Every structure is written in C-alpha cells, then in structure tokens.
Amino acid sequence: MPEVLFRVRAVMANRLWRAAWLAYTLLQLSLLWFPVARIPGYELATGLSLITAVFGGAFGVAFGRQESMRNAAAPLGQVVLATLGAALTLVTPPALTVALATLATLLGSPCSPFFAIAFVPLLVLPSVVVVAALGVWLGVRFRRWWRFTLGWLVIVLLSAAHTAWPIVFGPQVSAWNHLAGFLPGPLYDEALKVPGALLWFRLGSLLVALVAVLAAARAFGDRSKATRVGLGGALALLLGLELAGPTLGFRMSDEALAARLGGRTESDHVILLHPRGLTPAEVRRVLGDLEFRVGQIADFVGGAPEGKVTVWWYRSAEQKQRLVGAAQTQFAKPWRREVHLNDLGFPHPVAKHELAHALLAPLGARPFGVTARLQGLSPHVGVIEGMAVAADDPVDELSLHEWTAAMKRQAMLPDVRTLLEPQGFYSAPASRAYTTAGSFLRWLGETKGSAKLRALYRDGDFERVYGAGLSALATEWEAFLDDVPLEPAAVNQAFARFRRGSLFDRPCAREVARLSSEVAQLASDDAPAALEVLARCEALQPEEPSHVLSRAATLRRLGRDAEAQALLEPLAERVKAAPSSWADAAMALVDLAVVQGDEVTARALLEELLALDVSPSVDRTARVRLRALDSTGPVKVALTRYFSSAPEVAQVHFLEVARAAAPAEPFVAYLLGRRLHQREAYAPALEALEVTRADASVPESIRRETLRLMIEAAYGAGDCAKVKALAADAKTVSGAFGARAHDWVERCLKAPAPTPAAP
C-alpha cells in the first residue's frame, strides 16, 4: 500500500493533475444535484460510471506515463502498482459521492439508502479498474500526449461500438459496456433488480482489465513466458465469456433468440417467433390479431412497406427481461422492422402501437427509420411516440381526444410545446406524455390532412410541413380540446388514470416498486410479512392510497376486519376530494359493512358512489351491489358471493343456481355471462347476456358493458352477423363506444376468429 500511495502523491504533486482531479471530483459530486441520483442505487451508480468512463482514462495515462519513466526492474509489478494508484485516484470521488448520498438519504429522506446499493459496487468498481488499467496501458505504450488522447478516444469508440452492435443489429435492447456498466432497457420498468447476468458481465470487465495490465507489462519490457501465457489465457477466457453471452444473459443474437423461443410461424405480412409451447390455436389467434393490426396501420401510413414484420413473442415479462431486456416494456426496432411483445392477452393492448413504429419506418429519417434531425442521429422522441399513438388511436372507455380533454379539465395536461421539442418528451409522466402527443398529432392528421402528418414524421419540423410553428398549432389544438364534450365521469376517470407522477417525481419510487413486487409474492404465502412490506410502502409514500387499500385487504384475509376498518375510514375521509380514490376506499368499506351485516351503511355508501358519477366501472359495481342488498334467496347469495374472496368456480356455481331459480334476473345473467366470457365459453355467454340486454330496466352502465361483452363473445363464437348487428346498437351509445365496436366488425371481416372454444 505505501508503494501505491507514493505513486498517487507523485502524480498529484503536479498542479495540473490536482486541478484535473478536483474537476473530476466536482463532476461526480454534481450528480447529487439531481433528485433521482441522491439515493444510492442504479441511477447514481450509472452516472458515476459514465463520468469515470469518459474522463477517467487521463488519470490512468498519467500513472502509466509516470511508470514508464522509471527503471523497469519488475515491469508487471510496477504496472500493477500504477493501476492500483490510478484506481485509488479514480474511486475516491465516487466513494465520496456515494457516502454523501447515503448520509443525505439517512438524514433527509424516508427512503432506504441500502435497498439498491448493490448496483454501486457492481457498476462503479469494475469501471474504475478497467479505466485505470486501460489508461495505464496507454501511458506505458505511447510517449506523446496526442497519441494518448487519440488512443483513449479509440478505446471509448470501440467500447461503444461493442455495446451498440447487438442492439442495432440484433434483437436485444439491454446495453452492456465494460467501461460504463449496463442499461436494462427502457427505464419504464421501475422494480429494478441486479440481474444475474451482470455478475458474469462484470467478470468479463475484470478480464479486460487483466488483459490491459498484462499488455502494459509486455509493452514495458516484460517478455517472460508467464506474462505471455497469462495474456493468452485471459484473452481466451474473455472470448469464451463473450461467446457464452447469449446463455449467460448479456448478449443475444437472432439465431440464439430464435432457438431459445423455438417456434416460428409466418403469415402474409408477419413472421412470428414464439415459445414452442404455444398451441396451434394460440398461434392462429396471435397471427390473426397481428395481421389485422398491420392492415389498419398500413391504411394509416398510406400502404404497407414491402417485406414482413418480425414479431418476437414472449410468454412473460420475466422471459423477455432475461433474453433481451425491458421486462414490462414492449418495444420496436423500426430499422429492423421488428417488435418485441409480452403475451398480454387478446386482443393485444399495445401490438398496434409497436407495429406502427415498424411500419412507419420508411417515412422516418435514415438510418433508423424514425423522426430525427442531424442526419438521422438526433431522434425526436415526442413525434416518434406521438405518431405511434395517433396511428394506434386507442379507444377504451374514452377516445384519445376525450382522455386528453379530460386531463386538461383536471389541470393535468402537459404542455405539448415542451413535449414535442426534440428532447422534451420525458418532461412529463409517460402516460400523460404519450396520450397528449398522440392526441395532438391525431388532430393534425384529422384537420390538416394525413399526407402532411406523414411528411412530419421525417424530421418533426412543424414549420416546414405546416407553415406554422408548434406553438400556434398547439394553441389551435387546445381550443379544440375545450370543445370536446365530456360526461362528468370522464374527468374523474382521467384523474384515476393519470394521477401517478413520473418515476422521478414520486418519492422512493424504485424502492416502493421493488417492495410492491414482493407484496404480490408474499400476499398468499406470508400475509404478516406482506403487512410489514405494505406498512413500509405507506411510510415512503403516505399520499398514495393504494398502499393503505392493499394493507386493509391483507388484514381482512387474516380475519382482522376491525383493523382494516380503522385504516379505511380515515383514508376515505382524507381522499374525499378525489372521487376515484374515495371510490376505492368506499367500496372496501362496503365489503366490510356487508360482512358485518350492516346493510344500512353499505347502502348509504353505494348511493353516494352513484351520486358522484366516478366511472362506468364503479357505477356498474355499485348497482350490482345495491341489487344484492335488495334481493333475497339464491339471487342475493350469488350477487353477494361474486364480490367475496370465494373461488371463481364457486362464484359461477352460485350464479348458475340463482339463474335456475330466477331465469329472468338480468343482474345474475350479466355476471354469469361475464364469467363465461372470461372462460372463452362464448356461446353460453351470449345466451346469458341476451337476458340482460332484453331487460329495459337495466342501468345504462351495465347495458353498455353487456353490449361490449356480447360483441366480443359473438366474435369469439364466429358469429360475424351478430357482431355487425350489435355494433349498430353500439353506435347509438357514444362515439368512443361505437369506434370500439367497429374495430370488432373490421376484425370479423379481415381476421375471423379461430374455431370457437368449447365451454
């Protein structure tokens, strides 16, 4: 150690290097300016590693240059000492930064500074060692400063190319870099954990450092057989580790991924690579869904490009994370005409959005087929994502424009002028940003013509395409939103959907996300442990009602109803001004009141819920529960048990008993039809739901939902004539509802359902 410190003092004796080290230290400390990096974890570790990778090589060069001026009595030993000296110099500022972040978190935040601390040593320390070793090698190998500088630039560029190659030319989206660490993919996945592949990759980083040390020793004059053999062995191990990357999880190629999934099926416009365990019926349904969406997007972009779209289909988020990165995030690579999707059911909720990215590629700037400036190298994320949302035009309970107008009336609408700046898209929570940008671009297509909208996709230059700046167009669009008709429930729905802030706005977001994922695993196996985790979540985010609701539900599973009630009543009072949050608390209190036999309280809460007009789903639930309170015999039992913790098979049994006793009861028929639809027993579902539809006394919210379920069941049963007839009724309900029904009519014509499932 004294030899190492001696070398550090010798380098730092130079005033220039002291100033450089101070600047390097201040740059590392500047990360604490950003709130997300003040907690020791992934973001802080990545920032520290990146700064080390870009600027740290100069210090390694200084130590190597100093060593090259000494007598090479023991080249390998001297290189090792120089590398340790450079590493010590480089690691001190990150260590200080982490110490201050830990102290600040302990003293000024409820967050734990240790829940993600493992990222720090795994990302920072190997980067420090690699940068130090490579810098020392340059210092020993070359004599002139311009060669050091050029050499380090070449190393950084080669490292970046090695990282980018499998992302640009392969299927993976996670990035692995020996100098700077790794990126798990799009950062919408909040519950980050240290992947096992990172340990293998960082072993490779240490092998890179070993190769650099041995190469520096040979450049310093060590020609011993041990050094030569060691260098050859280290290179061989490094190459072997790299070749094993697809198995170990930090590299992936098309061939390896196709082999891991095992299944391949083609249609006219789609190549589907899927797990070999998918049944033929599942494959047909997935392909039909994808082909239908490709046709819709082709209509939007003015025709499908030549060739087929490749769709990689994963059974689960965990499988996708392990193979290519991005667990919960679906993604596309437009330049490769491919998309990567988790199996999220039928119809796939975001396949159309991702396919839009792939099919819009010919309209984008080369080389990546997206909206970009500076010769295609500066992507315009707001236009890229907004165009995909506009092409998708998602319709669920509200249309795209209705969701956006409702956000505006809740004062939650991001400024589209900022969102559609080249790098401004991430200034707002993702759910709000995507919807806002999509609505604006959809409006441009509807009012200014689709040809201009497609022309905009090349570089996002509004002035070039429209002859007007973004600000003027945004003002016109905002006036349009003010005139969009909305029911009171729509505004409440927007609050419920968009109330969560971004990852960087919520306190201790990554810790809470990790704890929440643990709760899902603990809830059934260890409820007391789940309670402790939920209490921690509540302490970290006291303003978030979902943690209290989850804790109350867990207490009820343990039979501790009084404690659950003691949590729910204050919560309901606290969130009274937020109808959607109050509705969740009130519905939980209704459950308690029913179990306790207090029908007066249950009825009062349900009637208050109906008066608030929170959302169609809340309205449906409240009306069914009121019907349960007003009923007797098997009907009361069936309607009550539906909202209990009874297994689904028991719920269906009680519904069938009630239907036999009261075949014309519309609420029983509705719930039974819903359960049969979920089981893909479409023909019996249609039969039950027809009873509800024929009853004129059924409330509007349940009538709409019955119609939706019947349209989907008719499609599943292969009865396209019925789908068309039901869709005609849907048009009379609302524009959004009619558009959603028309989607099923189109699907029936272009992608008929496979053989209906048996009951």
Find the angle CA(694)-CA(486)-CA(451) to the nearest 5 degrees. Answer: 105
The secondary element (H helix, E strand) that includes residue 555 is helix 545-557
Most confident listed range (45-49, 192-196, 217-221, 612-616): 45-49
CA angle 110, 36, 188 (to 5 degrees): 110
The reply to whether 237 and 364 lie within a common domain is no
Give the whole-angstrom CA distance, residue 633 versus residue 645: 20
Tens-digit pLDDT profile for residues 205-257: 999 999 999 999 998 888 888 899 999 999 999 999 999 999 999 999 999 99
Cα(126)–Cα(144) distance, integer angstroms: 27
Kindly tell me the sign of the dihedral angle through the C-alpha atoms of 165, 168, 172, 173: positive
- Tally the residues of the chain: 759
The answer as to whether 523 is a domain residue is no
39 and 154 inside one domain: yes
Q: Which residue has the tokens 């949302």?
A: 389
Residues whose CB falls within 8 Å of the CB of residue 479, separated by 6 or more in sequence, listed in order: none
pLDDT at 185: 83
Q: Judge residue 346's burial from the number of C-beta atoms within 10 Å of its C-beta, 0-12 exposed, 13-18 middle, 19 or more buried.
A: middle
SS3 at position 85: helix
DSSP assignments along 448-497, one per residue: H-HHHHHHHTTT--HHHHHSS-HHHHHHHHHHHHHTS---HHHHHHHHHH
- The pLDDT value given to residue 70: 76
Domain that holds residue 692: 664-759
- Hey, what amino acid is at 167? I
Max CA separation in the chain (angstroms) = 100
Percent of the chain exceeding pLDDT 70 equals 97
Mean model confidence pLDDT for the chain: 91
pLDDT tens profile 529-583: 889 999 999 888 888 899 999 999 999 988 899 999 999 999 999 999 888 899 9
Of 498, 532, 566, the residue that ends a domain is: 498
pLDDT at residue 73 greater than cutoff 70: no
Res 486: pLDDT: 86
CA 493 to chain centre: 22
At residue 759, does pLDDT exceed 50? no
Three state DSSP letters for 115-133: CCCCHHHHHHHHHHHHHHH
Name the least confident of 7-21, 294-308, 327-341, 404-418.
Answer: 294-308
Residue 514 counted as domain residue:
no
Query: In this structure, is residue 506 part of a structural domain?
Result: no
Q: Do residue 239 and residue 271 come from a single domain?
A: no
Contacts with 241 (C-beta within 8 Å, 6 or more apart), sequence order:
200, 203, 204, 207, 248
DSSP string, 230-278: HHHHHHHHHHHHHHTHHHHTS---HHHHHHHHEEEEE-SSEEEEEETTS
Q: What pLDDT does residue 300 have?
A: 86
For residue 188, tell me if it sits in a domain: yes
Q: Which of 199, 230, 248 is the last residue of a domain?
A: 248
Q: Is the pLDDT of residue 21 over 60?
A: yes
285 and 239 in a common domain: no
Do 204 and 346 fall within a single domain?
Answer: no
In a domain, 525, yes or no: no
- 105 and 159 in a single domain? The answer is yes
List all residues 6 or more positions away from 122 whose beta carbon is below 8 Å from its beta carbon.
45, 181, 194, 198, 199, 202
The pLDDT tens digits for 260-286 are 999 999 999 999 999 999 999 999 999
Mean local confidence (pLDDT), 513-537: 84
CB burial string 114-143: b at 16+ within 10 A, e below: ebbbbbbebbbbbbbbbbbbbbbbbbbbbe
pLDDT of residue 752: 82
Domain count along the chain: 3
Supply the pLDDT for residue 756.
47
- Is the pLDDT confidence value at 714 over 90? yes
Whole-prediction pTM: 0.90
Give the pairing of strands 270-275 and 309-314. Answer: parallel
The DSSP element (H or E) to which 504 belongs, if any, is: none
Query: Two tokens at 436?
Result: 């806002």
3-state secondary structure 15-75: HHHHHHHHHHHHHHHHHHHCHHHCCCCHHHHHHHHHHHHHHCHHHHHHHHHHHHCCCCCCH
196 shares its domain with 274: no
**Better-predicted residue by pLDDT, 188 or 693:** 693
Q: In sequence order, what are the residues at sequence separation of 6 or more whose Cβ sits closer than 8 angstroms to the Cβ of residue 83?
A: 60, 63, 129, 132, 133, 136, 209, 213, 216
Confidence of residue 85 (pLDDT cuts 50, 70, 90): very high
- Greater confidence (503 vs 44) lies with 44
In angstroms, the Cα distances linking 418 to 425, 456, 681 are 7, 17, 48
pLDDT tens-digit series, residues 312-328: 999 999 999 999 999 88
Q: What is the pLDDT of residue 502?
A: 62
- Of 64-73, 280-289, 510-519, give the range with the top mean pLDDT: 280-289
Residue 702 placed within a domain: yes
CATH, residue 388:
1.10.390
On whether both 207 and 343 belong to a single domain, the answer is no
* Co-location of 185 and 329 in the same domain: no
- Is residue 582 included in any domain, yes or no? no
Residues 223 and 262 placed together within one structural domain of the fold: no
- Region 486-490: mean pLDDT is 80
Residue 617 lies in a domain: no
In the predicted model, is pLDDT for residue 755 greater than 70? no
Residues 129-145 have a mean pLDDT of 91
Indicate if 369 and 238 belong to the same structural domain. Answer: no
Residues contacting 228, CB < 8 A, separation 6+: 218
Residue 758 has pLDDT above 70, yes or no: no
Q: Are 561 and 585 in contact (CB under 8 A)?
A: no
Q: Check pLDDT > 70 for residue 153.
A: yes
pLDDT tens, position by position, 498-515:
877 665 667 788 888 888
Taking the alpha carbons at both ends of the chain, their separation in whole angstroms is 75
483, 498, 513: which is the final residue of a domain?
Answer: 498
Mean pLDDT in residue range 343-352: 94
β-bridge mates for residue 340, sequence order:
312, 331
pLDDT in tens, 654-671: 999 999 999 999 999 999
Q: Which of 64-68, 336-340, 636-640, 752-756 has the lowest mean pLDDT?
A: 752-756
Nearest to 740 by CA among 753, 726, 754: 726
Q: What is the pLDDT of residue 199?
A: 96
> Do 206 and 88 fall into the same domain?
yes
Whether omega for the bond prior to residue 280 falls within 30 degrees of 0, making it cis, is no
For residues 283-309, give the mean pLDDT: 90
